[in-house]
Amino acid sequence: MEKFELHILGCGSALPTTRHFATSQVVNIREKLFMIDCGEGAQMQLRKSRLKFSRLNHIFISHLHGDHCFGLLGLISTFGLLGRTADLYIHSPQGTEKLFRPMLDFFCNRLPYTVFFREFDTDKPTQIYADRSVAITTIPLRHRIPCCGFLFEESPRPKHIIRDMVDFYEVPVYELNRIKNGADYINPDGEVIPNSRLTRPSEPIRRYAYCSDTIYHEKVIEQIKGVDLLFHEATFSQSEQHRAKETFHTTAEQAGRIALLAEVKKLVIGHFSARYESESVLLKEAQAVFPNTILAKESLCLNV
């Protein structure tokens, strides 16, 4: 199968600790890299991951809290020092360019490449990027400021040719692309050879959902239904439910409930509060509701 990986660069929350970096991830789809959030230290973690900087052309910012965007200016500057020439696109909520453009003009005024801001509305699901490999759609969330997650949906792949059948019907090479994309074959005698006789279905498309900072919000369930992998914030344990509600965050138990109701295949929880020296209590709470749950950790790589 084509590559579809999630790399965790950081999974902590707002207060820095010696164990966790601030929130940042990289999704690798067919060797194209997409960064989600860019907390402080993201570029250091990106180096450790051994992912190629040159393959990162799009960064997606969920919201404008510092632990999700303080690393952006440093990363942009480093790209310039490395001699980058390819354009860089920042997909983010309204107001991001107004905030960052003066700093770029001051600190990064001689970049050898161009930074483009593509701002979006966080109130409704919107497709904000698509190419031959993936489509990316926003997931509206509820936080203290405008915030959204992101749904990565792999583009459908062509069907698989059954070589023996193609040879048997003497299908010309120039017809193969049409057949892979679902067309029947009409031979020189006018006989229609059904596509189903010449091909096997491609693998099912894979989907990854990223739900950043949010209060418990069941409205996301319909949009993330059945995804292969869900990242959901789990800042607090259930004993801190009042604090979670007050700060518009989710408990680990609530994250497990979202995964259960959405019938996802696998849940990874993160955005851990600095108050926990061990996240085992969070893992136990989530697994009690949704057993197929794991903890995010720096340098973790997951196949979707």
Indicate which residues carry an active-site annotation: 67
Alpha helix ranges (H) inside the chain: 42-49, 66-69, 72-81, 96-107, 163-168, 176-180, 195-198, 221-224, 241-246, 252-262, 280-289
Handedness of CA 11, 14, 20, 26 (dihedral sign): positive
Instruction: Give one DSSP letter per residue of 2-23, joined into a string.
Output: --EEEEEEE-B-SS--SS-PBS
Contact 298, 7 (CB under 8 A): no
Residue 227's closest CA among 263, 277, 280, 275? 263
CA distances from 128 to 8, 91, 139, 161, 210 (A): 22, 8, 11, 33, 15
Q: What is the DSSP string of 85-133?
A: -S-EEEEEETTHHHHHHHHHHHHSTT-SS-EEEEEE-SSS--EEEE-SS
Partners of 34 in the β-ladder: 27, 58
Residue 231 CA to residue 267 CA, distance in Å, equals 6
Tokens matching residue 53: 């900087």
In the beta sheet, which residues pair with residue 35? Answer: 26, 59
Q: What residues pair up with 186 in beta bridges, in sequence order? A: 192
- Tokens 């029947």 sit on residue: 184
Phi, psi dihedral angles at 126 (to 5 degrees): -140, 130
